[in-house]
Amino acid sequence: MVIAVRNSFSTRLASTAAAVEGLFARLLDATPLADEIARPARLIEAMRHASLGGGKRLRPFLVVESAALFDVPAERALMAAAALECVHCYSLAHDDLPAMDDSDLRRGRPAVHRAFDEATAILAGDALLTLAFDVISRDEVHPNAEVRVALSRLLARTAGIGGMAGGQMLDLEGEGRFGAAAPPDIAQLQAMKTGTLLRFACVAGALLGEAPSEAREALDIYGRAFGEAFQIADDLLDVEGDAVALGKTTGQDAAAGKATSVSVLGIAGARARLAELTARADAALDRFGARADLLRDAARFVVERKS
C-alpha cells in the first residue's frame, strides 16, 4: 500500500514537472509584448536557461496538490505554480552570482552567469521576478480578481523584505562579510530564505480554492513544517551528499564558515528535528483524510531524498 502511494507520488511529481516545463516554454515564447517591441532574444534565452531543464519542481507540485484538495482545476493551479517557480528560478540565478554565493554549477549545468555573463544573469533574474507578477495576475489563474490580487500580494510579501530577499540578506550578513554581525537565528533565517516559498505554495492552494480559513491555516502549518524540513534535509545533503547526484557544489556552507541547522543542531539533532517536523506536517493534514496522501508523501520524500 505504501509502495503504491509512493509510485503514484513519483508519477505525479514527474507529470507536474513536465507540465510546468511545457508551460514555462510557452510563457517564454508567447508572453505578450507591448506594441512595436523588439524581442530581446539573449534575455529570453537566459531566462530559459534559468527556468527550463531541471529541478524537481517541488513548489509547483505543492501548489497543484494543495489546490486539488479544493477541486481547483489543474490548469489554473499550474499557472499560479509557474508564477511561483519564476520567483524560485530568479532567486537561484541571483544567488549564484559572484557577488552573492559565487556558484558555478546549478542543476548539473553552468549557472546563468557562467552560461551567459553577469549582466545577463542579473537581468534574467529581474525579468523572471517580473514575469511572476505578470503570470499571477492573468485571468487564467482565477476568474475572481480578488483571488488573483490576494495571491499577487502574498507572493510579493513571500519574496520580499520579510521573506526571501530579507533572508538572503541575513544569510550574507551571517557570513560576517559586512563586519561583525550578531549571529542570525538559523531557523528564522531559513524560514525567510527558503521556507517562505514552500509555505506560499501550500497556502496558494487554499487561496485558489477559496477555502475556509481553518483549511488555509492547516495548509500554512503543513507548509511551514515542510519548509523547515526541506532546509534541514538540504543542510544534511550539503554535509553528506554527492555533488554529481546533486548537480551542484557541496560542502559550500562549511567552506564559507556558514552556520546551518546541522552546525547548530548536529547531525543527530537535525535528524530528530526532521522526524518532529514530518509528524507535524502529517498531523496538519488530518482534516483532509486520504485526499492529502500525496502531500504526506511529499513531506517524506523531502526528508528521505538523496539528491
Residues contributing to the site for a second copy (CB under 8 A):
31-34, 36-40, 42-44, 47, 90, 94, 97, 99-100, 117-120, 122-123, 125-127, 129-131, 133-134, 137-138, 144-146, 148-149, 152-153, 155-163, 165-170, 172-173, 177-178, 184-185, 188-189, 191-192, 196
Nearer to a second copy, 94 or 296 (CB): 94
Which CB sits closer to a second copy, 93 or 236? 93
Q: 216 with 207: CB under 8 angstroms? A: yes
Q: What is the dihedral of CA 49, 79, 154, 214, to 10 degrees?
A: -130
CA gap 235, 269 in Å, rounded: 12
HSE on the CB side for 209, CA within 13 Å?
24
Three-class SS state of 285: coil
Which residue's CB is nearer to a second copy, number 22 or number 40?
A: 40
Closest separation between CB of residue 86 and a second copy, Å?
Answer: 10
When the beta carbons of 189 and 284 are compared against a second copy, the nearer one is 189
Nearer to a second copy, 240 or 276 (CB): 276
Shortest CA distance to 292 belongs to which of 210, 234, 188, 219?
A: 219
At closest approach, how far in Å is the CB of 267 from a second copy? 26
Residues 222-252 as b/e (b if ≥16 CB within 10 A, e otherwise) read bbbbbbbbbbbbbbbbbeebeeeebebbbee
Q: Which is nearer to a second copy, 200 or 301 (CB)?
A: 200
CB of 45 to a second copy, least distance (A): 10
Other C-beta atoms lying within 10 Å of the C-beta of residue 278: 19
Long-range contacts of 7-13 (CB under 8 A, 24+ apart): 8/294, 8/297, 9/294, 9/297, 9/298, 9/301, 12/61, 12/65, 12/294, 13/56, 13/57, 13/58, 13/61, 13/298, 13/301
In the bound complex, what is the minimum distance in angstroms from residue 146's beta carbon to a second copy? Answer: 4
For residue 236, the SS3 value is: helix
Q: Quick one: 42 or 306, whose CB is closer to a second copy? A: 42
CB of 41 to a second copy, least distance (A): 9
Three cell numbers written together for 251: 560542502
Q: At its nearest, how many Å lie between a second copy and the CB of residue 13?
A: 27
Look at residues 178, 213, 174, 179 and name the one whose alpha carbon lies nearest to residue 190. Answer: 174
Distance in Å, CB of 35 to a second copy, minimum: 9
